[in-house]
Structure 1
């Protein structure tokens, strides 16, 4: 086992040259208090810094493959999986996702242990998610509630831009879009306390609503008409708040009334 929590992985030095090749076969590579890579296998060369391919299983639940590339600020990582929902469940971030091809890039930003991240998932389903169910109940969207409790709500495209820190995730901008609905979200999630502070817009009937939203709404996942919402508290049972009057603030004018996104406290 190797525990990289004690190493300054994101703090620079990834561009050092001239080391010997390295093959790793580990039972476990510990990434954080809640995430480990089991069955980690990797082949790295050091001609221009630590560089190579790896494969593993996130907390023993989801198979991934990836590439490590050295940069001046540290090691950049690209991770792919044929089951993005399983990766999200295995990492404890979203426990209700199912399926979907995932592509994740993590680029060190020069601050110790911090990475700028970009996540993309295609054709995933969200099933039996309590927070989303509470949102749909508040909006009285019965048809979507039935989908959520059945096969799940399909999202063709999920995208998220975020900052990963040792204490959690700062979600700068994200969207999930499908025929039935679109969602935008930003905010913070603390992996140590499992507390969240999120906000965004939910747009039902996105297949129609989103056609006009693409012209007039400022963010992906938002239709011409949508409802502002917030999620606060425990990730398993957050407090849900919906502003029903926000549906009368269409498109680009919605941005005027949006609160600044919550910020993750900086690690010392």
Structure 2
């Protein structure tokens, strides 16, 4: 094929018919920019619909190998990603498997694995530059740098997974700034100095149904600051419903909670610390209501529980 046009993609390559009964059509393509923005937008729009039962093959079996100079995940002005190589399998209009590599910089290669079988989809993503990847998906601000790992399984309309990001900075996150503005405690100057809020690691177990992401005990920390977060983020309605704990001077503050046998007296909450402040974030992305409990910043964990100063009540859903 000297030149083919598939939507916004212009590519050259070859198409070989099945070599035997049951064998796939083999397709090889190379081109400039692989634009997946429309397909991703369509998948997001369909995410809230009821899960369909596994369906039989919708057409001939195929296998695709492709090499592209650039990759687009979201409409402009979201930036393009670098060179991409992929190997995909499917039948008709259904994707059943994908192995992709993505160049994000000198000696930096991201990898995506997608497997679908029996109604279960498994996804594994490794990215050497989390900030660049998120920016390419259309996210504005947020994460700068970082190494990202994502493991997820989707079945029956529900996605369960775990997100990890190492050595990153949070920038241009108004809701985070609102939480920190309510605190004037040790550890804040070091945590907020420099270009953004530095973290050593983020660990976020999550579930996703439609466009509602539920966080179950997400944690992020650095030597100066630690956060825990539980609740929901509604991407369709663009609303937060979150609560959690802020732990200043995280490395020093969590030491008593690690003492064998008596550690849970000081820190009954996993990821919590000896001195911590509770917070809630409720409302629209642009103007959420942020409440920080200053009392809990003055008392150790076991005293907070003794006096019943626990997590804030879950806010009523609008």
In the alignment, which residue of structure 2 is the partner of 1:225? 275
Contact 1:96 1:128 (C-alpha < 8 Å) held by counterparts: yes
2:73 matched to 1:20?
no
2:169 matched to 1:125?
yes
* d(CA) in 2 for partners of 1:177, 1:38: 29
Pick from 227, 250, 253 the counterpart of residue 300 of structure 2.
Answer: 250
Contact 1:175 1:220 (C-alpha < 8 Å) held by counterparts: no
Alpha-carbon shift at residue 94 of structure 1 (Å): 7.5
Structure 1's unaligned 5+ residue stretches are: 58-62
In the alignment, which residue of structure 1 is the partner of 2:116? 70
* d(CA) in 1 for partners of 2:270, 2:140: 20
2:202 matched to 1:163?
no
Cα root mean square deviation, aligned: 3.9
Contact 2:81 2:133 (C-alpha < 8 Å) held by counterparts: no
Larger-Rg structure? 2
In the alignment, which residue of structure 1 is the partner of 2:100? 54
**In structure 2, do the counterparts of structure 1 residues 46 and 264 end up closer, same or farther at CA, with 3 Å as the change threshold?**
farther
Alpha-carbon shift at residue 219 of structure 1 (Å): 4.2
* d(CA) in 1 for partners of 2:169, 2:235: 23
Contact 2:282 2:315 (C-alpha < 8 Å) held by counterparts: no
In the alignment, which residue of structure 2 is the partner of 1:208? 252
Contact 2:186 2:249 (C-alpha < 8 Å) held by counterparts: no
In the alignment, which residue of structure 2 is the partner of 1:60? none
* d(CA) in 2 for partners of 1:43, 1:187: 37
2:254 matched to 1:199?
no
Alpha-carbon shift at residue 234 of structure 1 (Å): 2.4
Work out the number of aligned pairs and report it: 254
Q: 1:186-239: per-residue Cα shift (whole Å, max 9, x none)?
A: 111111221111100000000100222343234443212211001112224322
Q: 1:72-113: per-residue Cα shift (whole Å, max 9, x none)?
A: 3322111111112333444466733211100011201323xx
**In structure 2, do the counterparts of structure 1 residues 253 and 209 end up closer, same or farther at CA, with 3 Å as the change threshold?**
same
TM-score, length of structure 2 as denominator length: 0.65
2:175 matched to 1:106?
no
Contact 2:279 2:312 (C-alpha < 8 Å) held by counterparts: no
Structure 2's unaligned 5+ residue stretches are: 1-35, 104-108
* d(CA) in 2 for partners of 1:254, 1:12: 48
